[in-house]
Structure 1
Amino acid sequence: MQKTVLVPYAHLPRAHHEHHVLASTVDVFGTAHWLLAERAPQRGGDVPPFDALVVSVDPGGNVELTELSAVRARWPHLDRLPDGGFVVAASRVRRYEDGNQVQVFDALGRETASFSVGDAIEHLLVDEAGQIWVGHFDENPIGIHRWSFTGQHTWTSDDARIPGLFDCYALNVSGTAAWACPYTDFPLVAIRPDRTDRPVRVWANRIRGSHAVAVHGERVAFYGGYDEEQDRLALGEIGEASVEPRDVGLLTQPDGPAPGRRRVVGRGSRIYVQAEPFSAWGVFDLSG
């Protein structure tokens, strides 16, 4: 089977390797971020607010440090806002029913807002306009939702007629649009809320179980799958009503093996992959 090798993209500076990586992502402008704490969170019981450090590495290799005060999420999601601030969100809402699930920090690391977006966050991605896209796994609420950084609900998939949307397996946010591939039917979905003509388009898709998607023109790539297909890279062409599969292979790390336990982020034509111990990002670019 054909193998495609991830290209090294960004590395956590060695000076910070002794810290625990709580979360990591690549933002809509291509900068990689790591949310670090002194130690790993403990299971059980309440977590008192703690200070954390965000290490950011831009595409040119420049490093920026931001200290965040009084972070509350034990198992957080992280992304950066266009103004240099950050969003940190707890994936589960049970301990944050007072509206503190999502924390918004300014560029100096000070909390400026907090609100809740609902339980079971699978993906949290900020777009170029500062809108926060949230894809949920199969709890309540389900679906895909968009929020402003002040907590205003600006779009919902509830009335979008997306077939089989019970778990947002894959979400890609680039520019101000989103692409998704949700369980159970795994259609390819394009979401452009600001368009008056067809803000949501859906294509039938036979590729099942993918956890990341990338799109470039009429080409699409799906990464991941069930069981032995967890490292699958499937390519297709977007037709009028469906995705036509073209090639299937494996996506591997630069040194050869499959990534194993990993994080994935979809941004436009790119799928970023971060394997354990989560100190480095690699990239597959469909446009290349």
Structure 2
Amino acid sequence: MQQTALVPYAHLPQGHRKSHVLTSTVDVSGTAHWLLTERAPQPGSGGVVPFDALVVSVDPGGNVGLTELSAVRARWPHLDRLPDGGFVVAAARARGYEDANQVQVFNVLGRETSSFFVGDAIEHLLADEAGRIWVGHFDENPVGIRCWSATGRLVWTSDDAGIPGLFDCYALNVSGTAAWACPYTDFPLVEIRPDRTNQPVRVWANRVRGSHAVAVHGERVAFYGGYGEERDRLAHGEIIGTSVESTDVGLLTLPDGLAPGRRRVVGRGNRIYVQAEPFTTWGVFDLSS
């Protein structure tokens, strides 16, 4: 089976590698971010004891930026940067609908400007170029996919959007102001453009099952991941009519040819970013190349 190696992309600077990595991501502009603390968040009587954290950012040119965030409250956080230079941090798990602090928005100085609730069981959280926050949920809270403003206003929801079998948002890709998804149980390829008045949602049937990341370039598609022995699968396809037709199947490896093992994945347009344990380095697969 043909193997495709990730290309090294971004590295956490050596001086920060003794810190505790809470999470990491790559934003819509291609800048990598790490959320760091001195130790893991500590549980308190009302949830998590608020803690200060440091975001280390490395842009595509290798320039490093630091942002200190005050009073973070997420034990298992998701992170992304907003177009104005601020950050959004969200707790993957929430206690209930009374938890108004699940999502925290910080300005460029690291101070919280707003907080709101989006629902339990966050699988993906990605901001777009317009500053909207896309959230995909897993099946313990099968509300599907939603898009929020940075002040907590619901902008778009998959409710009644005609997406078949949407119980778990396995894969979510946000690029520009659009989102692509590949949800469980039917695993269709879904394009979502809330600003498009004519057909804001388009759906293509797809036979590739279990993928946790998707990349799209024109009519070409790549799905990464799968069940069991297909965990490292990289499946290529082409959008033809109402479906995605498979063209090739191989494996995606680390730059050294090894399997990634435990990993994070982020889909952005034609790219899939992969970060393997110990989560200090990002590699990239670019469908356009």
Partner Cα separation in structure 2 for residue 235 and residue 92 of structure 1: 33
Q: Which runs of 5+ in 1 are unaligned?
A: none
Partner Cα separation in structure 1 for residue 237 and residue 9 of structure 2: 24
Alignment of 1:190-229 (within 5 A): 190-229=191-230
Contact 1:10 1:282 in 2 (8 A): yes
- Give 2:251's aligned residue: 250
Amino acid at match of 2:244: V
- Give 1:3's aligned residue: 3
Amino acid at match of 1:77: H
Task: Tell me, yes or no, if structure 1 residue 266 matches structure 2 residue 267.
Answer: yes
- Give 1:16's aligned residue: 16
With over 3 angstroms needed to count, the CA separation of the structure-2 counterparts of 1:8 and 1:96, relative to structure 1, is farther
CA offsets, 1:140-159, max 9 Å, x none?
35200000000000000001
Partner Cα separation in structure 2 for residue 269 and residue 98 of structure 1: 35
Contact 2:214 2:224 in 1 (8 A): yes
**Equivalences, count:** 288
- Give 2:188's aligned residue: 187
Partner Cα separation in structure 1 for residue 71 and residue 211 of structure 2: 35
CA offsets, 1:237-272, max 9 Å, x none?
001100000000000001110101000000000000
CA offsets, 1:82-104, max 9 Å, x none?
00000000001117833000000
The DSSP-based 3-state class of the residue aligned with 1:263 is strand
CA offsets, 1:100-121, max 9 Å, x none?
0000000000000000000100
Partner Cα separation in structure 2 for residue 162 and residue 70 of structure 1: 38
Amino acid at match of 1:209: G
Q: Which runs of 5+ in 2 are unaligned?
A: none
The DSSP-based 3-state class of the residue aligned with 1:234 is strand
Paired-residue identity, %: 82
Contact 2:41 2:51 in 1 (8 A): no
CA offsets, 1:51-86, max 9 Å, x none?
000000000000000000000000000000000000
- Give 1:278's aligned residue: 279
Partner Cα separation in structure 1 for residue 197 and residue 41 of structure 2: 45
CA offsets, 1:164-213, max 9 Å, x none?
00000000000000000000000000000110111000000000000000
Partner Cα separation in structure 2 for residue 131 and residue 68 of structure 1: 20
Alignment of 1:54-203 (within 5 A): 54-94=55-95, 97-203=98-204
Amino acid at match of 2:101: N
- Give 2:234's aligned residue: 233
Give the structure-2-normalised TM-score. 0.98
Alignment of 1:29-44 (within 5 A): 29-41=29-41
User: Which shows bigger deviation, 231-240 or 35-44?
Assistant: 35-44
Contact 1:102 1:115 in 2 (8 A): yes
The DSSP-based 3-state class of the residue aligned with 1:257 is coil
User: Which shows bigger deviation, 46-55 or 93-102?
Assistant: 93-102
Partner Cα separation in structure 2 for residue 272 and residue 113 of structure 1: 29
- Over aligned residues, Cα RMSD in angstroms? 1.2
Partner Cα separation in structure 2 for residue 167 and residue 160 of structure 1: 15
